[in-house]
Amino acid sequence: MYARSEICCGEIFPSVIVSEYEVISKVYEDTNQLFEPYKNNPAEKFPIRVKVELIRIFDEPIPFKPLIPHLTFIKNKEMWTGSIRKPMRIIPEVDYQLIIKNINNSK
């Protein structure tokens, strides 16, 4: 799971990957509201869904920005946020392996 950068109490918390999940269902549609939508799109309900199962929460979050130059699914390295600004994103196996390899390197 990717957590975007946030500013809280004057402190900047960088973008990180905090956990690993496995998709355990087929894609389905459901328009019931699950959580509060983003301020810039209050009508968003994220209707395309999958069921997931937690594999693990990482002891230390993996910093995301150092991975950007190496992730193949991010085509525009300068404007990389457009590559992840979606409710769900499939990433190639090679990118998944790169992220997992960085679990121990994030400390």
The set of residues, in sequence order, having a beta carbon less than 8 Å from that of 95 and lying 6+ positions away, is 71, 72, 73
Mean of pLDDT values over 27-45: 81
Q: How confident is the model at residue 13 (pLDDT cuts 50, 70, 90)?
A: confident
pTM above 0.85, yes or no: no
DSSP 86: S
Mean of pLDDT values over 26-49: 82
User: What is the pLDDT, as a whole number, of residue 29?
Assistant: 93
Q: How confident is the model at residue 106 (pLDDT cuts 50, 70, 90)?
A: low
Q: How confident is the model at residue 45 (pLDDT cuts 50, 70, 90)?
A: confident
Residue ranges covered by each domain of the chain: 20-57, 64-107
Q: Closest Cα to residue 100, out of 69, 76, 71?
A: 71
